[in-house]
Amino acid sequence: QKEVEQDPGPLSVPEGAIVSLNCTYSNSAFQYFMWYRQYSRKGPELLMYTYSSGNKEDGRFTAQVDKSSKYISLFIRDSQPSDSATYLCAMRTGGFKTIFGAGTRLFVKA
């Protein structure tokens, strides 16, 4: 069983839609939860991180962590074509080794 499960998609939505991206995990020791965005042929770029459970909002992006369910989410409001990318969830325990999900490919159609 993978430590982090993420549906690879692809997910296609119309411009302006609310996008919901999710990951589940099995290691209860994870404390830090990140979302990265990766454009084609580029490196991952950190979008948001959350420590422990709860919500965090940054502009059109909201990250949610539910440690009791081992489930994390990223919501994108008013999605734009420029949001089209691969979104990777990632997690860490107290250390520095980051465990990535497979990534979900998102297409936002104009």
Partner 1 sequence: EAGVTQFPSHSVIEKGQTVTLRCDPISGHDNLYWYRRVMGKEIKFLLHFVKESKQDESGMPNNRFLAERTGGTYSTLKVQPAELEDSGVYFCASSQGETVPSGNTIYFGEGSWLTVV
Where do contacts with partner 1 occur on this chain (CB under 8 A)? 2, 4, 32, 34, 36, 41-46, 49, 51, 88, 92, 94-103
Q: Of 10 and 16, which CB lies nearer to partner 1 in the complex structure?
A: 10
**H helix intervals, the chain:** none
In the bound state with partner 1, the residue whose beta carbon lies nearer, of 33 and 79, is: 33
- CB-nearer residue toward partner 1: 17 or 49: 49
Q: Strand ranges (DSSP E) for 15-93? A: 19-25, 32-38, 45-51, 54-58, 61-66, 71-76, 85-92
